[in-house]
């Protein structure tokens, strides 16, 4: 597997790169902020581009 970019975030959704790629950014009321729109597997609808964990707004309950 070849990885071109790996973005890491701690307890904060990352919307900059997905927004630059044209991914819709939506409001997620459960976390009170903006997240990239993603599928159930974290896919962003751009082929092999995924967002997972905190970067995608999938924050564990505290």
pLDDT in tens, 40-49: 888 888 888 8
Q: What is the structure's pLDDT at 24?
A: 92
pLDDT in tens, 11-53: 677 788 889 989 999 998 887 888 888 888 888 888 888 887 7
Q: Where are the domains of the chain?
A: 1-62
What Rg, from alpha-carbon coordinates, does the chain have? 11
Give SS3 for 15.
Answer: coil
pTM for this one?
0.71
């Amino acid at each position: 597997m070849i990885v071109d970019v790996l973005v890491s975030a701690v307890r904060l959704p990352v919307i900059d790169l997905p927004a630059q790629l044209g991914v819709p950014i939506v409001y997620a009321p459960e976390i009170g902020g903006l997240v990239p729109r993603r599928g159930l597997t974290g896919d962003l609808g751009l082929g092999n581009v995924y967002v997972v964990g905190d970067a995608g707004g999938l924050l564990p309950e505290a």
